Homo-oligomer: A and B are copies of this chain.
Amino acid sequence: MSTEDTTDAEARERLIDLAAEFYDQFAAGEIPRMELPTRTKSNIEYDPEKKVWVYGDRKSTRTANSVSGARKLLKASYTIDFLANQLDEDRSSTLRELYYLSESWNNEEAQFNSQDESNNLVEDLEIVTGATREDFHMRPEESGAKVMGPLLIREQTQRGDRDIHCQKDVGQGGYQIPNDTDTIEFLDNDAEFVMCVETGGMRDRLVENGFDDEYDCLVVHLGGQPARATRRLTKRLHDELDLPVVVFCDGDPWSYRIYGSVAYGSIKSAHLSEYLATPEAEYVGIRPQDIVDYDLPTDPLSDSDVNALESELDDPRFQTEFWEEQIELQLDIGKKAEQQALASRGLDFVTDTYLPERLDEMGVL
């Protein structure tokens, strides 16, 4: 799927084409249907050419041969109508607004019963049309995080273009990533690499210590599980500016998943891996090995931590020498540590010692 250059008109056309297909199926006396890849862990596979994980060959079919199946296609038709109008008028809306908006539809059967239902339908439409939610002008609830570093961008806003340097034209808080990062053009940069940082506390530490300035690093704050906008921007920084990307998280299984969502994409949105994932992104830490090497303050692994680690060992995306070694070490020591635990060595340890050592080992510096 190549979505980068999908225009509003194209996205609209693909949606209308899908509705037209239902129409043609009806007209030909067939039961209308929509075919989708099965979206489970067992149906994702590595695409060596695109270097990302994508859905495999297993398919599920939504068909109108039952009342509930027919209702699904009815909801799809109403949603297509709404999205086509939205694109026509150059408006946008959130997933939550779509859910509530359905209450105003004249056919009660077409209204959504829960937001999960409308969210899933929008994902289905992404897969079938090969466009993205952003192409439909659907915004997420929460926007992307923020960037600090030697990068000059031009953002095309509703109110005109804005040229913003992500160090010189922003406050201590940095540049706020908008919902749709494809409105951003990279004008100029002096960056050597991109570092995605999980927590706000560590992001602020790096900025306070001037790490972005000293190492010409673009510090991208993930803010926990990163929004699509943040992942998309990271991928574009890598692809378009040819910058190495590293990910700096807490040392626990949930944080490895955050790394995974940057590097591999998620199972739920494997249809967007090529658009959102940066497979070349490398994991800086906190590694279980760091817990041992630097004798970091730790918490014991909980049962759910252990389960999550075991499920990662089982996940094809984590079946590399690095991850198997680190996860087995972590199960062995039974401990986890946060990024900010590095403060037990002093506030400058992370920028004076830890990161330079790790980045040198990894060949980034």
Contact = CB atoms under 8 A, between A and B. Distances in A.
16 contacts: A93-B205, A96-B340, A97-B201, A97-B347, A100-B297, A100-B344, A101-B346, A101-B347, A141-B201, A142-B223, A143-B173, A155-B172, A158-B172, A162-B171, A173-B178, A175-B176
Nearest to A199: B141
A9 interface: no
Interface residues of A, number: 57
B171 A93 contact: no
Contacts of A96: 201, 338, 340, 343
B100 A143 contact: no
A164 B208 CA distance: 20
Interface string A162-174: 1010011111111
B179 A100 contact: no
A298 B173 CA distance: 36
B179 A176 contact: no
A239 interface: no
A174 B172 contact: no
A343 B97 contact: yes
Given A94-B201, A172-B179, 15 more contacts: A93-B347, A94-B204, A94-B205, A94-B340, A97-B201, A97-B205, A97-B343, A104-B344, A104-B345, A104-B346, A158-B210, A171-B178, A173-B176, A173-B178, A176-B176
